[in-house]
Amino acid sequence: MRWWGWGDPARAPAVGPAMLRLVGETVGISPRPRPPVALARVQLPSAQLPEGARAELQALLGDDAVRDDHAERVKHAAGRGYPDLVRLRAGELAEAPDAVLYPGRPEQVGALLQVCAKRSIAVVPFGGGTSVVGGVAPLSADHAAVVALDLRELADLVHIDAESRLATAQAGMRAPALERRLAARGLTLGHFPQSFEYVSLGGCAASGGAGQASTGYGRFEELVVGIRLTAPAGEIALPAQPASAAGPDLRGLLLGSEGTLGVIGELDLRVRAAPQERRFEGAFFADFPSGVSALRALAQEHAAPAVTRLSDEAETRITLAQAQAAAGAGSGEGAHESMRGALQARARSRAGRAYLRARGYGEGCLAILGFEGTPEEVERARARAHAVVRSHGGLPVGRSPGEAWQRQRFAAPYLRDELLTHGVMVETLETATQWSKLASVHRAVGDAIGGALRAGGTPGLVMCHVSHIYETGASLYFTLIARQREGDEIEQWRAVKQAAGEAILAGGGTITHHHGIGRDHAQWMTREVGAGGMAALRALKAELDPTGIMNPGKLL
């Protein structure tokens, strides 16, 4: 992972002139590129582990497993949210861990927590470090120091029980590594967040996420059957029972605990047969409400494919314009084909005409439907889903838009880095709400973000899609782009975030559907779960983490 951004530099897609022109015309770009500073120029607060702590931790973990060099501290100083990237690229980090710990054996975790509790050192569990809500921010609160606890050495696949369709893995294992091992046995976990390339299983469990195929496979918490957590006060080991009536679901208390209760060390995960076929297609709707009603029917009639997404008019417009820009640059065969498919469909329906209007900056909404299973299952599911789509005025438009989405499904964070270099703010935020409120929350949050950007003098573009659907409601995922206010990027972001958070809660949405609470959403947690809910969470934390060293400043 690039220390200032996302991913493998070799895989970073170039943003061509056509794309830059599109963004420039839409929101404006900086007249000169603004690359990140050199790593050596990043400023950090000085490291200050309490006297003797370093030696004690080294005796426990080994000399190489306690690191406090500049590069290690920078790499563990932030997650991958927009404000993280702004600070990293500017080389101005007000916070950094005093040291980074790399336990190599599971039993070392409990022992190091004892040392940290005794010496008042805050501990931030660190998986892939992809949190976008300040979940891995190295806050010491009122402790003497703070360490990042990097779990990458605890990354074994412990066991596969193919008969029970269960995989047991250590929490530091990365999602792609698990998928590779499962694929060799004809299995899959089915958790594919956009951050898939870097997430750890422990991070997914601790932050309550949902992958792009969650409609088919379930949210991450639904994939966790058993879990082991080491807290400063001791261990909790919940076995992988298929179901149990033994009191309240303690698993649910540990999932989404964001490192504030202890360290998740091992997980038993429900796995499935890997699909023989994956087929991604597009469908077009005349407008967002008709697309939403189709998605609701898909969910409520149990006809939804594994991946079910619907872009609003603004996101559709930009997606198609982007595809055209890419095609113009010679790399958009998929886009060409989808346009051809649409042309054929043009005269036949209102949605077809809308599709074409969207190409020319008119209205219309694109849905992506991803079917998985055996060829027979895929055909059956397609027939059912297409019937629902058509009965809501939609038009299936073939494979090209779906395949284009599939090719690009993990590309957005690379693109974000490129746009940041050109002085463009790119932020995403998300919520979920009941179907009956979806339209009003969509409108209110979009208006709030747009209003905050305009008030700050940088009118931007706000786009949204639905990407996780349930019988009772759905998620809304907003992407905003705007020209950065140079030198004032964090305040610009804060105003937008505040406005969006308030609009979400006022409209009846949840403050987060899958990014988690972390530091950035903590101010809204009481409104989300009530004073009683907070008291219960605090009581649990006081019991498991009596000195409050576990990830202070997050969640609670």
Ligand X SMILES: Cc1cc2nc3c(=O)[nH]c(=O)nc-3n(C[C@H](O)[C@H](O)[C@H](O)COP(=O)(O)OP(=O)(O)OC[C@H]3O[C@@H](n4cnc5c(N)ncnc54)[C@H](O)[C@@H]3O)c2cc1C
The answer to whether residue 477 forms part of the interface with ligand X (CB under 6 A) is no
Which runs of E-coded beta strand occur in 48-120? Answer: 66-67, 99-101
The answer to whether residue 167 forms part of the interface with ligand X (CB under 6 A) is no
Shortest gap between Cβ of 521 and ligand X (angstroms)? Answer: 12
Nearest to ligand X of 131, 492 (CB atom) = 131
Q: How many residues bind ligand X (CB under 6 A)?
A: 40
Which of 236, 259, 58 is CA-nearest to residue 149? Answer: 259
Shortest gap between Cβ of 344 and ligand X (angstroms)? Answer: 33
Distance, in Å, from the CA atom of 4 to the CA atom of 100, rounded to the nearest integer, reads: 18
The answer to whether residue 481 forms part of the interface with ligand X (CB under 6 A) is no
Shortest gap between Cβ of 2 and ligand X (angstroms)? Answer: 12
Shortest gap between Cβ of 293 and ligand X (angstroms)? Answer: 25
Nearest to ligand X of 359, 465 (CB atom) = 465
Structure tokens that stand for 311 in this block: 């872009």
The answer to whether residue 446 forms part of the interface with ligand X (CB under 6 A) is no
The answer to whether residue 169 forms part of the interface with ligand X (CB under 6 A) is no
Shortest gap between Cβ of 310 and ligand X (angstroms)? Answer: 16
The answer to whether residue 264 forms part of the interface with ligand X (CB under 6 A) is yes
Q: Find the binder of ligand X among 79, 352, 401, 507 (CB under 6 A).
A: 79
Number of alpha carbons in the 13 Å side-chain half-sphere of residue 264: 34
Distance, in Å, from the CA atom of 472 to the CA atom of 70, rounded to the nearest integer, reads: 49
Instruction: Identify any residues that bridge with 149 across adjacent strands, giving them in sequence order.
Output: 101, 125
Interface positions, 395-414, toward ligand X (CB under 6 A): 413
Instruction: Choose the binding region for ligand X from 161-169, 208-216, 344-352, 388-396 (rule: CB under 6 A).
Output: 208-216
The answer to whether residue 474 forms part of the interface with ligand X (CB under 6 A) is no
Instruction: Choose the binding region for ligand X from 101-109, 441-449, 452-460, 510-518 (rule: CB under 6 A).
Output: 510-518
The answer to whether residue 171 forms part of the interface with ligand X (CB under 6 A) is yes
| Beta-carbon contacts of residue 342 (< 8 Å; ≥ 6 apart) | 284, 352, 355, 356, 359, 397
What's the Cα-to-Cα distance from 123 to each of 33, 44, 101, 442, rounded to whole Å? 37, 18, 9, 38
Shortest gap between Cβ of 383 and ligand X (angstroms)? Answer: 29
The answer to whether residue 83 forms part of the interface with ligand X (CB under 6 A) is no
Nearest to ligand X of 136, 388 (CB atom) = 136
Nearest to ligand X of 125, 396 (CB atom) = 125
Buried b (16+ CB within 10 A) or exposed e, 357-385: bbbeeeebbbbbbbbbbeeeebeebbebb
Distance, in Å, from the CA atom of 417 to the CA atom of 424, rounded to the nearest integer, reads: 9
For 487, list phi and psi in degrees, rounded to 5.
85, -10
The answer to whether residue 178 forms part of the interface with ligand X (CB under 6 A) is no
Instruction: Choose the binding region for ligand X from 14-22, 124-132, 156-164, 368-376 (rule: CB under 6 A).
Output: 124-132
Instruction: Choose the binding region for ligand X from 206-214, 373-381, 392-400, 498-506 (rule: CB under 6 A).
Output: 206-214
Interface positions, 212-241, toward ligand X (CB under 6 A): 212
Number of alpha carbons in the 13 Å side-chain half-sphere of residue 358: 33
Within 10 A of 350 (CB to CB), how many other CB atoms are there?
Answer: 16
Structure tokens that stand for 268 in this block: 């038993």
Interface positions, 14-53, toward ligand X (CB under 6 A): none
The answer to whether residue 209 forms part of the interface with ligand X (CB under 6 A) is yes
Say if residues 504 and 513 touch (Cβ distance below 8 Å): no
Residue number of the CB closest to ligand X reads 203
The answer to whether residue 85 forms part of the interface with ligand X (CB under 6 A) is no
User: Which residue's entry shows tokens 């005409």?
Assistant: 353
For 97, list phi and psi in degrees, rounded to 5.
-65, 145
The answer to whether residue 207 forms part of the interface with ligand X (CB under 6 A) is yes
Q: Find the binder of ligand X among 83, 97, 127, 450 (CB under 6 A).
A: 127
Distance, in Å, from the CA atom of 3 to the CA atom of 94, rounded to the nearest integer, reads: 16
Dihedral sign, Cα of residue 363, residue 470, residue 439, residue 410: negative
Binding site for ligand X (CB under 6 A): 79-80, 124-132, 135-136, 151, 171, 193-195, 199-200, 202-204, 206-207, 209-212, 258-259, 263-264, 413, 514-516, 518, 551, 554
